[in-house]
Chain A
Amino acid sequence: MEYKLPFEVYNKNLKKGKLLGLKCNDCGTVTCPPTMACSECAGTNHEIHELSGMGKIVTFSVSYVGAEGRQNEHPLTIVLVKLDEGPWIMGNLIDLDPQKVTMEIIGKRVKAGSKMFPGDKYSAAAARPLFSFI
């Protein structure tokens, strides 16, 4: 069975600021980032669906210690955002100096742009959502 929304397509679109997921024709659940089967009913009767990129921060961590090759990105704020369409997604928060980030940001509404992780020896380049406050 062919993968309906492979990483390559998802990534190409996120690079342009377009967040794609899958909407299940059977149960209506939106799955993002994409998987082979619906994250709710495990069915595969779904279609590619463009998400709004809007949501609210559910949790975060300001990371000070990076993996090899990524230390210069730190400190950075990693956030988990509940998108308006339902799914959670991981990304980074801009708009606020990481060292000034507190629990006050939880619940704040944000909108996704994107930024490239250029890749390293082990992992391919990939866009990640970059959130800013609405």
Chain B
Amino acid sequence: MRRVAVIGTGHSKFMYNSPKTSVEMLSEVAMDAIMDASLKPKDIQAIFAGNGLGDFEEGQSSVSSYVADDIGCFNVPATRYEGACASGSMAVRDAYMWVASGFYDIVLVGGVERATAIGVPLATRAFCTFADSRYEFPAGFNYPASFGMLTYLYSTTYGVPLERLKELMAGVSVQSHEYGLQNPNAQIHQALTKEDVLKSPMISSPIQLHDCCPFTDGSAAIVLASEEIAKKLVKKPVYIAGVGQSSSGKISSQSKHYPRIRARELSVQQAYKMAGLTPQDIDVCELHDCFSIAAIIASEGLGFFEYGTAGEAWERGDTRLGGKIPINLSGGLKSKGHPIGATGVAQVCELTQQLTGNLVDLGRQVEGAKYGLTDTMGADGIVVNIILSAE
């Protein structure tokens, strides 16, 4: 296995109601990433693209193949990855392995989603296809309900009274919106107070509207290359130091571990082990805050905080710029947005910028950041983690 670097990035504005199609959205950021790496489309040997629900959203599957043709990467192998909300991260991990193995030298990884075009009821139904259609969807399952169940379970498991937990969860949303204001690519630019969160409409108890990330249209892309090529093309390559991925069965099958997400713990341990790092070494993290409680659970599973205590970490400011472990300075899924096929790729874009020191002007640079960790969770527990290194 050889070292692999991120040598170019492209990131669209995340938004509601994109006027562009998925193929167009992904083509734009793919070209941005290729040009950022000082390359031409003919240099790309393969394309790996996350896209969760193109079939529902536009009647368009096989987006990766059409994008290859659209951007002039004629006839290269182009593969679609579907892992629900972790689709993009899965594509990054697989692309990494193809380059690390020596099979390819330069590849493009992208992700795209256009979920808002179909409206909330159909988008909700489409997302429910990620649940177990035989044994759990029939009960009226949806993802806000899934995280609602986790919230009550978190409260009873760790003895955090619901009212207190809800206040801590609101703090997570407030922080994400605050940082989202500083991200021009964020979907929602709106300052929130805890009261705003706690007064927002109930979606699935005890999850309220402002505990939830939005549906999003958006795209992101990166170019990966071997270390040898990276050193020739960019001044300061950011390397992939570790990767992990794990799967899960339906919600009820995870009874032994809930509210902990076993797949996350297994995935991130793979990534830490590969990188030779521990949670204490990570300088900045982008994690999967599809719901406020999800951020709390994720940060504990990644090893940053003791189980049952992460909400207080947000309250203390440990997760802020300058805190113990800055989390979701991009605004996270909550404010930046969550185009599920692109989310994991977008997290890698964000941390690549952090590790190259490019975010000073945007007011969210973690000074001297050396190691960054991404975390995405799809469906009932498809988890992918990527560790990036500045050296």
Contacts and interface: CB of A to CB of B under 8 A. Distances in A.
Interface residues of B, number: 41
Interface in A92-134: 92, 101, 103, 106, 117, 120, 122-124, 126-129
B153 A126 contact: no
A101 B152 CA distance: 13
Interface string B148-160: 1110110110000
A78 interface: yes
A90 B251 contact: yes
Contacts of A67: 121, 124-125, 128, 142
B163 to A, nearest CB: 11
The interface centre, meaning the residue of B201, B250, B253 with most chain A CB atoms within 10 A of its CB, is B253
A122 B137 CA distance: 11
B202 A64 contact: yes
Contact of A106 (B125, B137, B152): B152
Given A71-B121, A90-B251, A122-B125, A63 B204 contact: yes
B276 interface: no
B2 interface: no
A33 B135 contact: yes
A90 B205 contact: no
Nearest to B119: A68
Interface string B106-143: 00000000000000111011001100011111111110
Contact of A78 (B121, B145, B153, B250): B145
B152 A65 contact: no
B249 A35 contact: yes
Contacts of B205: 60-64, 101
B203 interface: yes
A74 B140 contact: yes
Contacts of B251: 80, 90
Nearest to B124: A67
Contacts of A103: 152, 155-156, 162
A59 B252 contact: no
Contacts of B203: 63-65
B139 A128 contact: yes
Contacts of B133: 122-124, 126
Contacts of B138: 117, 123, 126-128
Contact of B137 (A59, A101, A123, A129): A123
The interface centre, meaning the residue of B137, B153, B249 with most chain A CB atoms within 10 A of its CB, is B137
B125 A69 contact: yes
Contacts of B152: 59-61, 103, 106
B148 A61 contact: yes
A80 B125 contact: no
Contacts of B135: 7, 33, 89-90, 126
Nearest to A122: B129
Nearest 9 Cβ contacts at the A-B interface: A61-B148, A117-B138, A67-B125, A68-B121, A128-B138, A88-B255, A63-B204, A68-B125, A33-B135
Interface of B: 120-122, 124-125, 128-129, 133-142, 144-146, 148-150, 152-153, 155-156, 162, 201-207, 249-253, 255
24 contacts: A58-B255, A59-B150, A59-B156, A60-B149, A63-B145, A65-B120, A65-B142, A66-B124, A67-B124, A68-B125, A69-B121, A70-B140, A76-B140, A80-B251, A80-B252, A90-B135, A90-B136, A90-B141, A92-B140, A103-B156, A123-B137, A123-B138, A124-B134, A126-B138
